[in-house]
Structure 1
Amino acid sequence: MQVHQQSILSQIPNFHKLSWLSIVAAIMSFSYAGIGMGLSFAKVVSGKGEKTTLTGVEIGLDLTVVEKTWRIFQAMGDMALACAYSAILIEVQDTLRSSPPENKVMKKANAVATCAATTLYMMCGCFGYAAQGNHAPGNLLTGFGF
């Protein structure tokens, strides 16, 4: 599948000049997070939020210890995958060889962007959990019927 995607994408002329694609992707990402947070916030404020616990779904009839452990490791893997930008961040900062003022500005911009994205998506996850409870789906908007 990946080979087919690469062969199709390689046919796009001036592929290195597709900076608009990053802008569209960022707008879509922030829109998705904003819609999810808005729906979650509205559900919590209206008093229709689901039951939540600090430790998540309780072990019992519906969940074994092994399944709970697997879900914990799966969640940790999801978080690690979501934070894949951190590896790129180090590479970006290492390649900055320009004058010190520009170098410092870029490092600060990367740090601010990482903090902003982390804050946004943590708020999205926390509001989603507060609204949909222990059985919140992996895709936030599917819990609202989308």
Structure 2
Amino acid sequence: MKVIATNKKAFHDFEILERYEAGLVLQGSEVKAIRAGRVNLKDSFVKFVKGEPFVFGMHISYLDSANPHFRPDEKRPRKLLLHKKEIDKLIGKTSEKGYTIVPLKLYFNKKNIAKLEIGLAKGKTLHDKRESLKKKIMDREARAAMKEYR
């Protein structure tokens, strides 16, 4: 599994409850651009349109070496491919207040197919963000102390 892009902001702003693997419907040279690492997941989100999941705000830059006559929009909504049961479960969860779906990382699986890991998330409050930051610092200090002790 080759990870191309991660959404670090999602881990900071949200508490991830469940994770799902989704396929992407891509056009033209977008796969080449993804392989080149020209992807940004920051500020992207998943929304349901007529019962189908789409990822909005995911930026895939255009490659200069690709066909100049066909340029797909860099920030266009891209359809996600999920099983029907997963879609129904996510629609039910996101209809509850406070839940959302955010892209976590984009990667190529063992069969060299682009996949997007999405997560069912609940927004963190300012207090939760501070608490998780304190916990991260404490863990880092503990690891450093253990390393120093050896």
Instruction: Report TM bin, short chain.
Output: under 0.3
Report the structure, 1 or 2, having the larger helix content. Answer: 1
Greater Cα radius of gyration, structure 1 or 2: 1
TM-score of the pair, normalised by structure 2 = 0.23
